[in-house]
Amino acid sequence: MTAHFLDAASPHPMRFPDGTLNRGLVHLNRVIDHPNIEIGDFTYASSFDPPGDWAARLAPYTYAGAPERLVIGRFCQIADRVRIVTASANHPMAGISTYPFAIFDHARVGDYIDQISGLPDTVIGHDVWIGDGATILPGARIGSGVIIGAGAVVGGMVPDYAVVAGNPGRVMRMRFDDATIARLMALQWWHWPPKRVARATAALARADVAALEELAA
């Protein structure tokens, strides 16, 4: 096992077989320092055109001091061109015009205060795979173990271990039956110490829930 395996402290945790560092793949919580964004260990994003500012690439509407947060769990995998649109991207819609006059004159914010207060957080669970070019909409609540297909546009509530695709995104199938999902959610392997996770990779790869339960004991 290589020394860098499951190294949460490394901003660039992957090397190619020839030993070259993959600078297009990053542990997000090692390259993002943003008061409105919370990201768990081992969650990575990858890009063929890696940005200087990963927060701006992934969640460009999430500004410091915004009334909502973006929360992403542990061990998530975020592909190239994913965009997370948080609630501050929305224009006020209750009035006659949606033109955002207040962004040009902050003294007018009071006209819209009831529409921009209490905006919903966007929450992505643990071990979620978000495919190339997918878009996550404001206030989405995505469960753990979810797979989001390439190009999907996903909002609302997504249950644990669902497979979502399309625009609008919809649940195509569940990855496991209800009983197995309940066992996996009880295990919450993503919170295990890294050494235990390293011992569990074979069981995770072959969906051996009984072996995971033995490791958790």
185: nearest Cα among 158, 166, 160, 206: 160
* N-term to C-term CA, the chain: 24
Residue 21, SS3 per DSSP: strand
Q: Which residue among the candidates 27, 91, 106, 191 is catalytic per the annotation?
A: 91
For residue 30, the one-letter residue type is R
Asked about 126 being catalytic, the answer comes back as no
Q: How is the beta sheet containing 153-154 ordered, strand by strand?
A: 83-84, 135-136, 153-154
Which residues does 199 contact at the CB level (< 8 Å), separation at least 6? 215
Q: Which of 42, 39, 40 is nearest to 7 (CA)?
A: 42
Instruction: Show which residues are catalytic.
Output: 91
